[in-house]
Chains A and B, each alone.
Chain A
Amino acid sequence: MKTATLNKSDIGKCIDLLLQADLRVIAPRLQPQVDEDGPDALEVLTFTEVKSGEDHQVGEGLLPLNGVKEFLFAKHEPLFAYEKRGKKIEIIPVHHEYPQTVIIGVRPCDAASIASLESVFSDANAGFEDPFFTERRSRTTFITYSCTAPDSSCFCTSVELSPDSAKGSDLHLTEIGDGRLHVEVITKAGEAVAKQLQDLLEGEGDQAAREKAGAEVTEKLTRIRDSAPIMEWLMDTANFDDEMWQRLGEKCIGCGACTFVCPTCHCFDIVDENKGSKGYRVKFWDSCQFDHFTLHASGHNPRDWQYKRYRNRFNCKFKIYPEKFETPGCVGCGRCIRACPVNLDITEYMAEVAHKAANPNAMKADPDFE
């Protein structure tokens, strides 16, 4: 694997080089606030398109609020347009722009989630490839950046990842001290980008320093959970009605924030936006936490209580995904924990399941909840 060294202060120049090569560049950026220093002011870091190398926060702060999901799986997009003329319906094609894109500053958790999205949207074995996803995916290169300071909500090491992992990366950067970055070319796409930046890359990198930095940051994670027993416990159908679901999920308010910020969540809805006899068929993000997500036309709703909807989410992440696709359902980014207004914590569910798995005689049903 080709390696090199890059100065952290040259990242802005890297962005400029990529922009000059007519690439669309997406990087973490602090959003300007109207009230910059009031007591409510928060740093809002998001991945957005940047137009200059001076306007980025790559490698600073922690996780951008939005992740990279929206650049592969659009928040909303038209599938086609239509027009009704009498009894005839004409389908009018729409044209999407898929510019060549480089996303720089992606953390390892977000990078690992791409494999999960690919297993849903571009699995040739499944017999269907979503062109809206595959077109974007094939034109996107990921320059990833190892974490240096995980916060208390990060738990990637509990889901078989690490804060310096290069999974899903095309070109991987790790801070090795003295303002330098160790650069690893992982894929052909990464090689192409490295070529664009070759004037700024030098030397052979420093593998030992990179591994040391990786080990140091891995030590910093405080939220550690044992995920090994989870899938087996969930596969036992008797546990579907365990009392823990209602006890832990009672406070969930079904706001959907967790699903929208989650890098692997990918539910979507399709509606027709009508104006008279013309319209567009539109695909946009949906959430299994909404109360009408499983509402049937008959009025029956199999997930009619909020705790059942959260139970579904936990199952999806820790059983359905790994079982069906052999890719992680959860990458431990911690966004759901930070975003949840009522502090519903997926790692509490993980700990509870591990506890139940270790104590099979624990209470299954709670009479107070009858």
Chain B
Amino acid sequence: MIEAIRNQARLLLENGDVDVVIGYAEGSDPSRTTPIFIRKAEDVEKLIYDPRCINSLPLYLNKRHEYTRKGWKKTAIIGKGCDIRAIVQLIAENQLKRDEIYILGVPCEGVVSHPEKWDGSLHDGNRASKCIGCDVMTPHETDFFPGDKPDVDRSTPYEATSKNVATLMELELDKRFAFWRTDFDRCFKCYACREVCPHCSCNTCITDETTPSWIDPAAHKKGVFSWHLTRAMHLVGRCTGCGECTRACPMGIQVDLFNQRMKEVVQESYSYKPGYSLEDKHPLITYKVDDREDFIK
């Protein structure tokens, strides 16, 4: 499978159809892979794809990571299903044009939840929980796919993949808050969760605004909650569920719990799953005249 991808990448580079191919290469450790930017056709041999390829590569298409300054006219990118959701969402939000991206789709049976858990193969003990029930194991939007693309029903409603969402919803309010208090006590506002997100693309993030200071940068409870609630709100209807934020957190906090809950809310209220349509606008920038308002006095 990877040979077909390498051959296609080689062709694209040799013909000058793309300026760069973004993919995965061997990392500095047997359990890790790393993003690679290939500009020369002979380097395509370095491309790999296996369950260790956990990175969400579309973040390099985000203007916050210098994409618009690179001068690439057309970029090829290797995408597993969840990454392609992110690309589709970026296109739906006008952050990218469809014709500036060449999507090399790969079939995926899941990725390891964390490099530490890699023991040579992917199995139920180390498959990331986001992969359970995945409907894009054969990706939905590609320019090249090695092999046949069977029809897949992707209309099943979104369900949170972490058990913790349901566990928390069963707790009483003060116990729920106590959980956030203890779990987020170790957050020190490094913003790794923001930087790995393919959708965080504001040129100046709201937390970096100082006049006025909306979100206190210091890592006391007020500053920490303020940041995570704001991040959750800004991703409502946009989060494509790659789980990178939780993986990137250096203190092992499950920061995407908020995002998973909001994805459930968006599914219930608006029957919408981000990342599947190139045209549909996400729910918070559209409206229906008869939207639900059972809570309004």
Contact = CB atoms under 8 A, between A and B. Distances in A.
Given A341-B247, A343-B28, A368-B39, 7 more contacts: A40-B113, A42-B114, A66-B251, A256-B192, A257-B192, A341-B195, A344-B34
Contacts of B163: 35, 38
Nearest to B64: A291
B167 A34 contact: yes
A75 B184 CA distance: 14
B203 to A, nearest CB: 9
18 contacts: A35-B162, A38-B163, A40-B128, A65-B250, A66-B186, A153-B29, A250-B37, A251-B35, A255-B195, A260-B190, A271-B216, A282-B216, A291-B64, A306-B66, A339-B192, A341-B196, A344-B34, A345-B28
Interface string B220-264: 100100000000000000000000101110111010000000000
Contact of A341 (B55, B216, B217): B55
Contacts of A345: 27-28
B248 A44 contact: no
A269 B217 CA distance: 9
9 closest A-B pairs (Cβ-Cβ)? A255-B195, A76-B218, A255-B192, A44-B252, A343-B34, A345-B28, A341-B248, A339-B250, A260-B190
Contacts of A305: 66, 69
Contact of A306 (B65, B186, B190, B192): B65
A342 B128 CA distance: 17
Contact of B217 (A40, A152, A284): A284
Contacts of B65: 253-254, 306
A256 B187 CA distance: 13
A195 B109 CA distance: 59
Given A253-B195, A343-B33, A42 B28 contact: no
B191 interface: yes
A80 interface: no
Most buried by B among A34, A251, A253: A253
Nearest to B54: A341
A284 B219 contact: yes
A75 B195 contact: no
A39 B117 CA distance: 9
A183 B33 CA distance: 41
Interface in B188-215: 188-192, 194-196, 204, 208, 210, 213
A347 interface: yes
Q: Give the most central of B186, B190, B246, B251: most A CB within 10 Å.
A: B190
B179 interface: yes
Nearest to B210: A271
A31 B183 CA distance: 9
Q: Which DSSP category, helix, strand, loop or mixed, fits chain A's interface? A: loop
A345 B69 CA distance: 25
Interface residues of A, number: 51
Given A271-B210, A273-B218, A261 B250 contact: yes
B77 to A, nearest CB: 13
Contacts of B33: 343
Nearest to A339: B250
Nearest to A76: B218
Nearest to A78: B218
A152 B27 CA distance: 12
Nearest to A259: B190
Given A35-B164, A273-B218, A348-B28, A341 B213 contact: no
Interface in A31-82: 31-32, 34-35, 38-40, 42, 44, 46, 65-66, 70, 75-76
Nearest to A44: B252
B125 interface: yes
B129 interface: yes
A40 B116 contact: no
B95 to A, nearest CB: 16
A330 interface: no
B250 A260 contact: yes
